[in-house]
Structure formats: structure tokens, C-alpha cells
């Protein structure tokens, strides 16, 4: 138990005092098996948005909750020197250090843990969805966070790495790209919106 005294000036210039007896008690919080849906965006400046709703299933978004999308698929103003204007993916901004999840089961085709290319630290995972080969690209991850190697089998929701600012990047974000078997890029937002279902 502690006692605090606070003094303040009254309207007539007289001092006033207030004695507070404060006692704080509490029991440990039992969290059980509860998992917060916002835990996936716990990086620096973590943020969410109503850009999408994620569900457990064979196809998922790379974050459990909707996050801001700063750049869509297609033509755009270049956000940084050397960054392409014809954007072949979407830029997602949950906050630096937020965990990135695989969008579907697959096998890692390509991965780089170094910041030596336009994609910086990145991974490409090949999937077969509804009989079609599709690949997902996760780029600009933080150095030291890539969780995959070439040849790894990946399940939907597995950790790919964490949001960073490597390669040709104007700030921390995930560049998510989706490619058909012939290497043609498609709009990841449209593809995921059609595939992610309750």
C-alpha cells in the first residue's frame, strides 16, 4: 500500500492537497491457447488495414490480418531511384519485422539470404493450385530472417521470413509477386482475393 500526495493551486490561490491510498493486486493472466490475430503484425510500426480478410485454408494471405497496401500491380510512379514503374506485384506494409507466411503449400525454387539483387533477401515458392503451377515471390525481407532454403517443402502459413528494406526498396515492406508457369506475372491481390475463401 502506498500513499501519494498531489498539490495544485486552487482558484483563490490557495494550495489544495489530495491524499490517495493506492493498493494494486493482481493474479497472473492465464492466456491458455489463445492466439491474437494481430500477432502477425508485431514489427516496428505494426499496422493493419481492411484491405483483406484472411481465413484458414489451402490458400491464405501472407499476413493473418489485412495490412496497408502502398503500391498495386501495374503501372505506377516510381517510389525510389531504380524502382520499376511497371510493378509486377503488390507492396504490403505491416511494419518492419512482421512475420511473412507462405500463401500455399509448395517447394522453394529460389532463395537468397543476401542483399545483392533488386529483390534483396527473397524467396520464390512453386505451388500447384487447382491443377495449375503458380509461383509466389516474397521480396525485400530483412537480412538474417529468411527461414527457407532451396528444395524445402513448405506448408501454407509457414514462416518465409520477416519484412525488411533490402534490394531496390523505398522503405520496409513485402513485395509479393505471383507468376504463372511461363513466368508471366499476374496481380497477386486479384488472385488471392479469388482463392482465399472462408
Instruction: Name the stretches of the chain with pLDDT < 70.
Output: 1-45, 71-87
pLDDT at residue 116, rounded to an integer: 84
The confidence score (pLDDT) of residue 141 equals: 96
| Phi, psi of 132, deg, nearest 5 | -110, 135
> What is the distance between the alpha carbons of residues 140 and 171, in angstroms, rounded to a whole number?
9
Dihedral, CA of residue 126, residue 194, residue 120 and residue 153, to nearest 10:
-30
Would you call 181 helix, strand, or coil by DSSP? Answer: coil
Question: From 1.10.510.10, 2.60.120.560, 2.70.70.10, 2.60.40.10, which CATH number describes the 69-195 domain?
Answer: 2.70.70.10
Task: Output the pLDDT for position 22.
Answer: 45
Domain boundaries of the chain, sorted by first residue: 69-195
Q: How many CB atoms lie within 10 A of CB 131?
A: 5
pLDDT score, position 144? 97
Residues 53-106: tens digit of each pLDDT = 888 899 999 998 998 887 665 665 666 656 655 657 898 989 999 999 999 999
What pLDDT shows up at residue 17? 52
Amino acid at each position: 500500500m502506498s500513499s501519494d500526495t498531489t498539490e495544485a493551486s486552487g482558484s483563490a490561490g490557495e494550495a489544495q492537497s489530495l491524499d490517495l491510498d493506492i493498493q494494486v493486486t493482481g493474479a497472473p493472466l492465464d492466456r491458455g491457447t489463445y492466439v491474437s490475430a494481430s500477432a502477425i503484425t508485431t514489427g516496428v510500426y505494426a499496422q493493419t488495414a481492411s484491405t483483406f480478410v484472411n481465413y484458414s485454408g489451402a490458400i491464405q494471405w501472407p499476413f493473418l490480418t489485412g495490412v496497408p497496401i502502398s503500391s498495386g500491380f501495374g503501372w505506377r510512379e516510381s517510389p525510389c531511384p531504380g524502382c520499376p514503374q511497371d510493378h509486377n506485384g503488390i507492396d504490403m506494409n505491416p511494419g518492419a519485422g512482421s512475420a511473412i507466411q507462405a500463401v500455399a503449400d509448395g517447394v522453394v525454387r529460389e532463395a537468397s539470404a543476401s542483399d545483392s539483387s533488386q529483390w534483396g533477401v527473397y524467396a520464390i515458392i512453386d505451388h500447384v493450385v487447382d491443377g495449375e503451377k503458380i509461383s509466389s515471390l516474397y521480396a525485400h525481407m530483412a537480412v538474417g530472417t529468411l527461414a527457407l532454403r532451396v528444395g524445402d517443402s513448405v506448408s501454407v502459413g509457414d514462416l518465409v521470413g520477416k519484412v525488411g528494406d533490402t534490394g531496390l526498396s523505398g522503405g520496409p515492406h513485402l513485395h509479393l509477386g505471383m507468376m504463372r508457369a511461363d513466368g508471366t506475372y499476374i496481380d497477386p491481390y486479384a488472385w488471392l482475393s479469388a482463392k482465399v475463401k472462408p
